A and B are shown apart, each in its own frame.
Chain A
């Protein structure tokens, strides 16, 4: 634990440095301290995960009620690894990124507080410490959205949404945790876990539902996701990366910690609900990701998608555990956790890459990009590999985790109880459907944004903005490669974390090695061998072509349907690429399209100009949230009649109240 305390102190120092140092050295020094702190906790957490230790630190000072309590068990260690990993990359990236308002004292020091809070949340092991770290994480990220871009109306409204949702969630989590602790002798998670079986079934379910609402909203599960596609794109890019990779994962962490560890699994209904949330989120997120043309908005929706998949894994694990299939349950839980780690790396890299693109071109609208592969090679490689990982291309991390999830779900069919079969079946369908939709979304993002010809002056004149930004984002590609090529190396670590999440009974459903091989069930993959074979075949083919085929390459213009001159406007755009899918799913997406035609004065047969407007609103927001706002607004208007600013009226209220009290009491 000493190393964690060193890491936490470094993080605190970074925040202080950000708040006190003069402008020129502020960002490098704070970022170096922050990155160092994250690196220390990363190494320490990996070490403890390998040893499988559980470490406890308690101090009665620092916080009121029950003091600070930090515990590092394998589950916590895994999430510390996850958040420190993204933390290192984001701190390095910040060196190149921060200038102007995002390099101000408040912005830099709050950023460091956010990084620090992210690695404290999984360590906290009593209600007060947990909620303190949780709120620190939520509030610092909220401030980061507004400190940087308060002048943009979109950022302000996004921050408002985020503030409302996250605070409502925090209230719900607090109530749920207090309910869990109602029979416990203290507030620590150990006490709660020991006493939770004495609670009545209704109390436990109520507690879980409250906690689930809060955590699911943080994880962006539909229908509590509304804030996410607004807040994540509007935040400064390193903050988006941290929010969309590490912070959302904490939502899943909370569900596993409370549901699996503190309440010992509960009933099957809980996990069916979790899986249902996951299924809806996965499909909804993927669908919106395919049609979004704002790069960061696309990434935000794909976060909802991946969090959905991970919730499917967690839900399936709970359902399987309930029906006694422990090995299968562990497999599903491992898949969910591996997916979270993989997602943190590739989504972090993608958001950092999107930030570089936005900096370089001045836009994140894919319809205005193109050709970046020539002008921004580092960013292009980072985005290409991470997009490959998210599309589950074999040999990259998304593939191994989704393969594990699919194995867990498929083997669950051996059980015959109805809820298990339904969850597994819908889970497999959702996984398959989102796999396809995600592929469309990221082929679009990379194909339209990075390939082809530039569609705007910004894209044409772009170049890599800073080496630090390149290195920061490139760092997050490494985990995608490692988890993709040799997933067997980390399987035992994930396995320990999954055991903790499921209540501590150890099983090893996946044997260690380079690839993944299920030990008790059938199924194995060897991505490294696959890559080797692929490279081998390509080398052989290349050699064969070189020796047998035509040697000279012939350069000709691309075929342009008979037109001589070809302009960038003749390419597919992100919107047109997604149009067929948008048509297929029109009932869910409800797109609004307007075509404005201005005719030439001479004849109506000729058009002078043609404008196409296209907007996809969030159906859940429009149908579920707006009516509630309408009611609140109407109540507010009514209340304003009471509150009209006339001093006579206010005095009259007091007088009438006095008379009423006097009459009632008499």
Chain B
């Protein structure tokens, strides 16, 4: 039972980080969004595995919520947004793909180094995996900074949020349900607003490449 739990946790949490790195590797916007969906599913699987192991109903409900929201609703919304320009690709990221992958490796190492102290506070099968969540946050942020497409940036933002969620589940077996609900709805709202912005930006100019936009201040 215990080894099954540990393996399940390892696989699901590992998938979250793997998905994050995959988003750096792939260029097609639709592909990236699909990978995001896979990550959402993995994240919900982490929550569900933990919930079953700890017999925690609230976490079970949270896991279900994450499954619906981050596995289905948000990727669905983003897919619809990217349908405006189905062939759009992340053609010219600010940091190219091989360099991004190297950077991701560095960030993963960094998160193992910095998470060591957190893990040592309460070593357990779950907290052992905190570096994965940390790495997901950093990789997500890296994506947010280096990708030009608006959709990629939104994906980066959600990666950060997923990473934070993963760390929270692993460290504390989930934040209180109400907090999780609030933050999930926040993310949904952000995605809706950004999607709306993206669509209206697309009407003003043909591409949603953000590099040319210098005057967002006004």
Q: Which residues of A approach B to under 8 Å, CB–CB?
A: 644-648, 651-652, 654-655, 658-659, 662-663, 665-666
Contacts and interface: CB of A to CB of B under 8 A. Distances in A.
Interface in B135-149: 138, 141-142, 144-146, 148
B144 A655 contact: yes
Which 6 pairs across A and B sit closest by C-beta, in order of nearness? A666-B114, A645-B214, A651-B145, A655-B145, A652-B145, A655-B141
A315 B116 CA distance: 68
A646 B142 contact: no
A666 B113 contact: yes
Given A663-B114, A666-B113, A666-B114, A658 B214 contact: no
A645 B113 contact: no
Contact of A648 (B94, B110, B111, B217): B94
B213 A647 contact: yes
Given A645-B214, A662-B110, A666-B114, A655 B94 contact: no
B113 A654 contact: no
Given A648-B94, A658-B141, A662-B111, 8 more contacts: A648-B145, A648-B148, A651-B144, A651-B153, A654-B145, A655-B144, A659-B110, A662-B138
7 contacts: A645-B216, A647-B210, A648-B94, A651-B144, A652-B145, A658-B141, A662-B111
A658 B145 CA distance: 12
Nearest to A649: B145
Contacts of A665: 114
Contacts of B215: 645
Nearest to B218: A645
Interface residues of B, number: 22
A648 B141 CA distance: 11
B211 A648 contact: yes
Contacts of A655: 141-142, 144-145
B109 to A, nearest CB: 12
Contacts of B111: 662
Contacts of B144: 651, 655
Contacts of A662: 110-111, 114, 138
B117 interface: yes
Interface of A is mostly: helix
Contacts of B114: 662-663, 665-666
A165 B138 CA distance: 47
A659 B138 contact: yes
Point out which of B114, B146, B148 has the most chain A C-beta atoms below 10 A from its C-beta.
B114
Interface of B is mostly: helix
Interface in B107-151: 110-111, 113-114, 116-117, 138, 141-142, 144-146, 148
Interface string B175-193: 0000000000000000000
Contacts of A651: 141, 144-145, 153
B143 to A, nearest CB: 10
Nearest to B107: A659
A646 B211 CA distance: 7
A646 B214 contact: yes
Contacts of B216: 645, 647
Nearest to B214: A645
Contacts of A647: 210, 213, 216
B211 A645 contact: no
Nearest to A652: B145
B177 to A, nearest CB: 28
Contacts of B110: 659, 662-663
A251 to B, nearest CB: 40
Interface in B21-43: none
A666 B210 contact: no
Contacts of B113: 666
Contacts of B210: 647-648
B207 to A, nearest CB: 15
Contacts of B146: 648
Contacts of B116: 666
B81 to A, nearest CB: 18
B144 to A, nearest CB: 5
Contacts of A646: 211, 214
Interface in B197-218: 210-211, 213-217
Nearest to B213: A647
B213 to A, nearest CB: 7
A85 B211 CA distance: 64
Contacts of B141: 651, 654-655, 658
A644 B145 CA distance: 15
Nearest to B148: A648
Interface in B159-182: none
A659 B153 CA distance: 19
A614 B3 CA distance: 93
Nearest to A653: B145
Contact of B214 (A644, A652, A663, A666): A644
A30 to B, nearest CB: 40
Point out which of A645, A647, A659, A665 has the most chain B C-beta atoms below 10 A from its C-beta.
A647
B80 to A, nearest CB: 23
A652 B216 CA distance: 16
A645 B211 CA distance: 10
Nearest to A658: B141
A662 B213 CA distance: 30
A651 B213 CA distance: 14
A663 B215 CA distance: 33
A645 B214 CA distance: 5
Point out which of B111, B141, B217 has the most chain A C-beta atoms below 10 A from its C-beta.
B141
Nearest to A643: B217
Nearest to A644: B214
A61 B153 CA distance: 53
Contacts of A652: 145
A476 B179 CA distance: 70
Contacts of A648: 94, 145-146, 148, 210-211
Contacts of B211: 646, 648
B153 to A, nearest CB: 8
Nearest to B111: A662
Nearest to A666: B114
B113 to A, nearest CB: 6
Nearest to B141: A655
Given A652-B145, A659-B138, A663-B110, A645 B117 contact: no
Nearest to B137: A658
Nearest to B211: A648
B209 to A, nearest CB: 11
Nearest to A665: B114
A480 to B, nearest CB: 55
